[in-house]
Structure 1
């Protein structure tokens, strides 16, 4: 059940908002996040980028895309850590939001109510093809949603699913092309059915 976040009252006269970039593995979510943040930096806005400390795939301190584009970031353990640190910026970036606790919804809404532009990237579905919490609820409260797509590694169609090649049933398993492949709906459900 979704509980409306207690977002407080506006602290500035400036309007803030939330942008969510979502999609499957290898769809360019982080690449798009980095592109938007770099444009804000070029415009001389104060930008801070956060990532979950658990994500150490390419770098402990940087947000890094699959094609190795990178931007400095601050690794944090909990979503509330972002709220405590981001008071002075104009733009807040959050990568791999699906790895944060559900408090990320409140945090993003609070930052937006303070007049900040909040740009969040994350997986919209887990390895089973179901909505990835808390991303689903974060998308419901966002002003802008961009769904990016990968290319199906089996047939070449548009891919929206992240198929996991291992037998693990844990929701969070960090990995790259060694563990995951992007698949279209048809190929994803065929493989899921075959491997039951």
Structure 2
């Protein structure tokens, strides 16, 4: 099989996906892996969606205030141009990127890079979020992290939206979202529906 010149003699790359609900430690785990790669003197590039300015316009920041410098980009196609010499590529808040992200991550992996992606696997309605399902399908390694349900203390898998807003993308923290287990998430949605129905009547 013929390989393009930049593939010859390169080590095999791969894709790692870190997923879970809000407040589950996705970004914390991403930062941990990237900092370890830097300690090993690997060339690391980190990217975040330009739209995410909650904590900082440039830094990737976890809920525990750990951070690492990144490059904000508005489209996943820029990953290929900006990470050409990298060994490790980190991508935070992957759910906010365009649908081309999985293809570009695979391109980077074919170039011999380790690609580490963190993002929400489900939106506030419990549906697969943005490009995350396709990323999970093509990744070699998947880590699902869990938060703690803020109502009952069980493992949380869902991001419950506390405010009434129909848009899929609503940036916010604990003032807008809670981590909830499956049961408490469902109960909250039922109560919201009942409240909405009462207001209509």
Task: Verify same fold: TM over 0.5.
Answer: yes
- Equivalent position SS for 1:172: coil
2:178 maps to 1:164: no
- Paired with 2:166 and 2:36, the residues of 1 have a C-alpha distance of 39
TM-score (ref. length: structure 1)? 0.94
3-state secondary structure, aligned to 1:79: coil
Superposed counterparts of 1:4-23, under 5 Å: 11-12=7-8, 13-23=10-20
Coordinate RMSD, CA, aligned:
1.1
Q: Distance in 2 between matches of 1:161 and 1:74?
A: 28
Q: Aligned-pair distance for 1:166?
A: 1.0
Tell which structure's C-alpha radius of gyration is larger: 2
Q: What does residue range 90-101 of structure 1 map to in structure 2 within 5 Å?
A: 90-101=87-98
In the TM superposition, residue 159 of structure 1 has moved relative to its aligned partner by 0.1
One of 108, 112, 115 as aligned partner of 2:109: 112
C-alpha separation in 2, matches of 1:142 and 1:48: 19
Runs of 4+ in 1 over 3 A off after TM superposition: none
> What pairs up with 1:129-144 in 2 under 5 angstroms?
129-144=126-141
Identify which of 46, 54, 57 aligns with 1:57: 54
5+ residue gaps, structure 1: 1-7
Note the 1:145-156 alignment, pairs <5 A.
145-156=142-153
Counterparts of 1:83 and 1:28, CA distance in 2: 27
Superposed counterparts of 1:66-105, under 5 Å: 66-105=63-102
The 3-state SS of whatever aligns with 1:195 is helix
Is 1:174 matched up with 2:162? Answer: no
Larger helix proportion of the pair: 2
- Partner residue, 1:121: 118
**Which runs of 5 or more residues in structure 2 are unaligned?**
194-201
Rounded Cα–Cα distance in structure 1 between residues aligned with 2:18 and 2:146: 11
> Aligned to 1:118, what secondary structure does the other structure show?
strand
Count of residues in Structure 1 that have an aligned counterpart in Structure 2: 189
